Structure 1
């Protein structure tokens, strides 16, 4: 092991402490550097612009989705109304057919009855 005076523990502590202080001073100098401040401001502005665009896009998408949902509900409502009208028309038509069929049956029954009566006389 090397036992020179340079490798003594207090010397290594002092060297490490000086290195930390130098690094801290460079960091503080960089923090107040006008170029770095301008760069940070520019990045913050770009981030704010991106965020505003993202929010605008999200708002537009939300509005489009709401419009689409409204359109779907209106279409479903209109389709339900049309189906109801078709059902009513179908029921009316079936009722008319039933009445017509009943009238035809009655006419046929009356014709047969009249034919039987005429045969007996």
Structure 2
């Protein structure tokens, strides 16, 4: 597709040179790094960056505190659960010991009763 205006080589070259001149002019008028305005902008950006970093550090500190608090709560819950499980186990052991003691007492009573009957029978036979 052809352009509506058919520029010649010289016109294109002239347009390119003018564009380069405009770019150079733009960069010449741009503020230099030691310009007070540029220094003020740089300091402002630095202050913003420092404030941002401070806020980020504060957020991280708060997150760490929250994590520590949650870990402490979890440890306390685990400790309470372990204590409860230990108490339940001790109660079950005490109940089992009571049953064993009752069984042994019942056996001893039955043996004593049997021995008494045996002694009574032997006494009658004499």
TM-score by length of 2: 0.67
Give the paired residue count. Answer: 118
| Matches for 1:57-76 after TM superposition, within 5 Å | 57-76=59-78
State how far apart, in whole Å, the 2-side matches of 1:86 and 1:2 are.
99
Instruction: Pick the aligned partner of 1:8 from 7, 11, 19.
Output: 11
How much is the aligned-residue C-alpha RMSD, in angstroms? Answer: 3.2
Deviation at 1:101, TM superposition (A): 2.9
Shift in CA distance, 4/90, structure 1 to aligned 2, threshold 3 Å = closer
Find the counterpart in structure 2 of residue 23 from structure 1: 26
Find the counterpart in structure 1 of residue 52 from structure 2: 50
SS in 1 for 2:29: helix
- Structure with more of its chain in helix, by fraction: 1
Find the counterpart in structure 2 of residue 86 from structure 1: 88
Deviations 1:36-87 (A, max 9, x none): 4313311320221121121122023213312321332243134313422331
State how far apart, in whole Å, the 2-side matches of 1:95 and 1:89 are.
10
Query: Which runs of 5 or more structure 1 residues have no equivalent in the other structure?
Result: none
Query: Which runs of 5 or more structure 2 residues have no equivalent in the other structure?
Result: none
Shift in CA distance, 9/115, structure 1 to aligned 2, threshold 3 Å = same
State how far apart, in whole Å, the 1-side matches of 2:112 and 2:22 are.
123
